[in-house]
């Protein structure tokens, strides 16, 4: 029974995330890198690959695209001249903000047009539970 709940929840949340991301204009890997840089500050490509649990090559490809679009910039690492840190640019922040706003607007519209007032409250009550589950799975952030 518990496994069934976990699988149903995984499936429903995954489907919801995919449905909301249909309107995204930034590929998922690039959006994830922008999000990390926006939330956690500068990182090397290697660090981003590790955080995302992807290969260095995959992260480097996304970084190359972001650099080309002017959404991130590099600067020498202050402690190791062989490395470069990646920083999100103002343009990157603005683009990320637009993507997030589009997703939120799409989801808000679905919530308002599909759910009753009582169902919206039930959904609102679930948010802290989902947040706790995420924190438990991810563990504390460094």
CATH number where 113 lies: 1.10.10.10
Reference 99, options 38, 58, 52, 12; nearest CA is 38
When divided into structural domains, the chain yields a total of 1
Domain containing 123 equals 2-138
Among 83, 92, 95, 75, which residue's Cα sits nearest to residue 37? 92
Q: List, for residues 65-119, the tens digit of each pLDDT value.
A: 999 999 999 999 988 888 899 999 999 999 999 999 999 999 999 999 999 999 9
Residues 14-67 pLDDT 10s: 999 999 988 899 999 999 999 999 999 999 999 999 999 999 999 999 999 999
Measure the CA–CA gap between 13 and 139, rounded to whole angstroms.
19
């Amino acid at each position: 029974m518990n496994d069934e709940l976990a699988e149903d929840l995984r499936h429903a949340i995954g489907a919801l995330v995919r449905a909301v991301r249909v309107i995204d204009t930034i590929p998922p890997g690039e959006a994830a890198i922008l999000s990390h840089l926006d939330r956690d500050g500068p990182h090397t490509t290697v660090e981003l690959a590790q955080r995302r649990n992807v290969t260095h090559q995959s992260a480097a490809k996304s970084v190359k695209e972001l650099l080309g679009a002017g959404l991130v910039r590099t600067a020498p690492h202050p402690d190791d001249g062989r490395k470069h840190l990646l920083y999100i640019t103002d343009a990157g922040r603005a683009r990320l903000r637009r993507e997030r706003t589009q997703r939120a607007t799409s989801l808000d519209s679905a919530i308002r047009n599909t759910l009753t007032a009582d169902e919206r409250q039930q959904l609102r009550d679930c948010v802290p539970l989902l947040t706790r589950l995420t924190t438990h799975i991810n563990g504390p952030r460094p």
